[in-house]
């Protein structure tokens, strides 16, 4: 069902559904548990923008970078990554 849904969304948006969903789902899980659940969709959206802007970007690299950030997140950092 998930694959059919993603294929339908891709068709609707006029894009190819070539992404391996597992790294994205794994990253979303880390963000939801280590940062905050409600920012998970926005995080994956930002990852999509990054992939779209970097033609040679690798989805696994972006997922690894975001997962590492989420794993180290203590909630005290501001938008620039500085701690108070």
In a domain, 62, yes or no: yes
Domain containing residue 40: 19-72
In a domain, 52, yes or no: yes
In a domain, 36, yes or no: yes
Residue 20: Cβ within 10 Å count: 10
In a domain, 79, yes or no: no
Residue 71: Cβ within 10 Å count: 12
If one counts the domains in the chain, the total is: 1
In a domain, 43, yes or no: yes
In a domain, 27, yes or no: yes
pLDDT band at 3; cut points 50, 70, 90: confident
- State both tokens at 40: 């998970």
Top-confidence residue, 62 or 79: 62
pLDDT band at 84; cut points 50, 70, 90: very low
């Amino acid at each position: 069902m998930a694959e059919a849904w993603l294929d339908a969304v891709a068709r609707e948006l006029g894009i190819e559904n070539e992404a391996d969903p597992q790294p994205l789902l794994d990253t979303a899980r880390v963000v939801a548990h280590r940062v905050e659940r409600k920012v998970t969709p926005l995080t994956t959206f930002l990852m999509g923008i990054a992939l779209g802007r970097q033609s040679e970007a690798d989805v696994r690299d972006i997922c690894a970078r975001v997962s590492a950030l989420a794993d180290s997140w203590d909630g005290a950092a501001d938008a620039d990554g500085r701690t108070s």
